[in-house]
Amino acid sequence: MPQTDRSKISRWDLHGREHVVRVRRTGVQRTIGCDTCGWRRRVRFLPWTKAQEHLAQAHQATVDPAGSAA
Ligand SMILES: [Zn+2]
């Protein structure tokens, strides 16, 4: 069974546009970078949470394309 791709997180905004934040492991830290705006950040913990925060705040992208709909 294929493993879920955990190296990136994608969300859709209200206009149906996809925004992707990629996560790269660098030692104990992880570098997360947004494909849409070039935003980057180093985090040690909870990279997925930080990525979701950025997507929501910067792009109003909160819809998980793989998630369960309402
Ligand atoms: Zn961004």
Domain spans, the chain:
8-63
pTM of the complete model beyond 0.85: no
41 close to 21: Cβ distance less than 8 angstroms? no
What's the CA-to-centroid distance between 67 and ligand 1, angstroms? 20
What's the CA-to-centroid distance between 32 and ligand 1, angstroms? 10
Alpha carbon distance 20, 37 (integer Å): 10
What's the CA-to-centroid distance between 57 and ligand 1, angstroms? 9
pLDDT per position in the chain (70 positions), as tens? 555 456 999 999 999 999 999 999 888 889 999 999 999 999 998 999 999 999 999 999 999 988 755 5
What's the CA-to-centroid distance between 1 and ligand 1, angstroms? 31
What's the CA-to-centroid distance between 12 and ligand 1, angstroms? 12
Residue type, 65: P
pLDDT for 6:
65
pLDDT for 21:
96
pLDDT for 65:
86
Helix, strand, or coil (residue 12): strand
Helix, strand, or coil (residue 6): coil
